[in-house]
Structure 1
């Protein structure tokens, strides 16, 4: 069995919470601990720009971190690259700038007003100037999956009964059903976020670490040894079991 591996749920612009859970990880596993982030660094929270810059700096510094791509990260890059503010996976009447999705908060963190009634071209032109190319490249280059002997880390989940090599991006960053209701074992325990809960849950064949930081609930970090899982707290490890 390999050494412990740590994971952090959806960050959603909550830089202070990110610092808090990283301190918990360092206290448990040291400064060289391997950490997997399950994506969604931006939207809803107050400091998406700060989160992206912090993660980019950490990558440049050579931290042992694997940072996956989430659907909200793709919202930002698609808007910058192609002026797209809608995704087929969500309701047609919900623009990325709608507060429910939180793109307005991401743009605000870069100093760009993004009310839904503002002309799209005006927002896009300002965003192109405001968002550093390094941020765009960082988010565009994020991998979709990380696989170990016992675990598979993704943002949203996997399509059941489809091999890992045949999974598609839209499922890996957007899927809810049939993944959430699937009860049979996968080839590996799936560690994911995306579906916000009040608290992380171990469902037997998957672990959902999204405790709702995007809705101003606490961000969560977990540690895995094999398939055993614990949440990290100021008082140490707390077992997370089915």
Structure 2
């Protein structure tokens, strides 16, 4: 059983398309298989609206693409519902429009300017007029995880010791330390993003493919075939070995 996965995107449409090109090249040799996107479609990068539109259109034309929800996807939709809502897992006093979080860049991609420098009420009013409701409905409906064979795909990770079917949304979208520092067997290989690193890495019980697209890095793509995991590069597959 073969699956492809793409890590955090953060508004980098051109990098997302490059990752899809690597997957398409691999599929030409090995055949088609599902592509799972691990969330964080927007924020920080310049083309969040374009990323969402690109993925929606791909699904509508029948591409075998699954898109999971990330914490930034939740931040965006919750802001649109209530601009004063504070995610309990977002470090205070940060909010979605803070430069470190990147919501202002998402607003700019929809034509809403200077979102970090104006009153929140004004930004929210402009956002309601500018953001396509179909984008918000699609983001709201994104699944939190996906299991395929012996692999469990999720944005941030899982709470160790809790059955995969019983995981809480907050953990699936936000968890770090308790998951990253746990070396136990989770019953499935966990493929995740959320925690930015330089290049995809295999840790034995998990594979992290957030290669820092939100901070100037690439959008990474991997292929999982049986128990073998490889990063896709312009030169072909690069095996990721547990270590």
TM-score normalised by L of structure 1: 0.96
Asked whether the 8 Å contact 1:7–1:221 carries over to 2, the reply is yes
Pairing of 1:187-202 with structure 2 (within 5 A): 187-202=187-202
Counterpart in the other structure of 1:23: 21
Look up the match of 1:87: 87
Q: Offset at 1:121?
A: 1.1
* 1:32 Cα deviation from its structure 2 partner: 4.0
SS in 2 for 1:232: strand
Q: Over the residues paired in the alignment, what is the CA RMSD in angstroms?
A: 1.2
Q: Which runs of 5+ in 2 are unaligned?
A: none
Matches of 1:109 and 1:21, distance apart in 2: 21
Distance in 1 (CA, whole Å) between partners of 2:208 and 2:48 is 22
Instruction: Check the 8 A contact 2:107/2:115 in 1, yes or no.
Output: no
1:117 Cα shift? 4.1
Please report how far the alpha carbon of residue 57 of structure 1 lies from its aligned counterpart in structure 2 after TM superposition: 0.5
Judge conservation of contact 1:210–1:219 (CA < 8 Å) in 2: yes
Q: Report the CA distance shift for 1:5/1:65 in structure 2 as closer, same or farther (over 3 A).
A: same
| CA deviation map 1:105-161 (0-9, x unaligned) | 000111112443411111111001100011001110100000022100000000001
Displacement over 4 Å in runs of 4+: none
In the alignment, is the contact (CA less than 8 A) between 1:5 and 1:223 conserved in 2?
Answer: yes
- For 1:205, the equivalent position in structure 2 comes to 205
SS of the residue 1:46 aligns to: coil
For the Cα contact (< 8 Å) 1:95–1:116, is it kept in 2?
Answer: no
CA offsets per residue over residues 49-77 of structure 1, 9 Å max, x none?
A: 00000011011111101100000001110
* Aligned residue-pair number: 240
Aligned to 1:215: 215
Q: Which residue of 1 aligns with 2:129?
A: 129
* Counterpart mapping for 1:56-75 below 5 A: 56-75=56-75
Shift of 1:233: 0.5
User: Which stretches in structure 1 are left out of the alignment for 5+ residues?
Assistant: none
Using the TM superposition, name which of 220-229 and 83-92 deviates more. 83-92
Instruction: Give the Å deviation of 1:21.
Output: 0.8
1:8 and 2:44 matched: no
Instruction: Output aligned runs, 1:25-64, within 5 Å.
Output: 25-30=23-28, 32-64=32-64
Residues in 2 aligned to 1:69 and 1:106: alpha-carbon distance in whole angstroms = 16
TM-score normalised according to structure 2 size: 0.96
